[in-house]
Amino acid sequence: MTKSELIANLAARFPQLVVKDAELSVKAIIDSMADNLASGERIEIRGFGSFSLNYRPPRLGRNPKTGSKVQVPEKYVPHFKAGKELRERVDLVE
C-alpha cells in the first residue's frame, strides 16, 4: 500500500469529506510524526507501536570506493517497535 492508496482508502471511509481532506490529513499526520522524531520526541500510538530514536556512536568507516578510512560521526536513527495489537494481528501464521 502506498501513500496515495492510503489516501484513497481513507477518503472512501469518510464519504462526507472531500478527497482533499484525506490527503491533507495523511500529510499532516506524517509531517507531524517526522517533525516530532527529529526534535527528539517519542511517538506512542496505542495498538500500533512506538517510534523513538536510537543512538549510534561515532565509528571509523571506510570509503568503499577508495578504501580510505573516514570518521563517521555519532548520530541518531529512527526506530519502530510494533505494539501488541499489531504484533498479534500480523502473526497469524499457521
Partner 1 sequence: MTLTKADLADLLFEQVGLNKREAKDMVEAFFEEIRTALESGDSVKLSGFGNFELRQKSERPGRNPKTGEEIPITARRVVTFHASQKLKLKVEEAYAGDRA
- Kindly list the residues in this chain that would bind partner 1 in the complex (CB under 8 A): 1-3, 6, 9-10, 13-14, 16-17, 21-22, 24-26, 28-30, 32-34, 36-49, 51, 53, 73-80, 82, 85-87, 89-93
Residue 23 dihedral angles phi and psi, to the nearest 5°: -65, -45
CB of 48 to partner 1, least distance (A): 4
Residue with cell 517510534: 51
Q: Which is nearer to partner 1, 67 or 82 (CB)?
A: 82
Q: What angle do CA 75, 50, 27 make, to 5 degrees?
A: 85
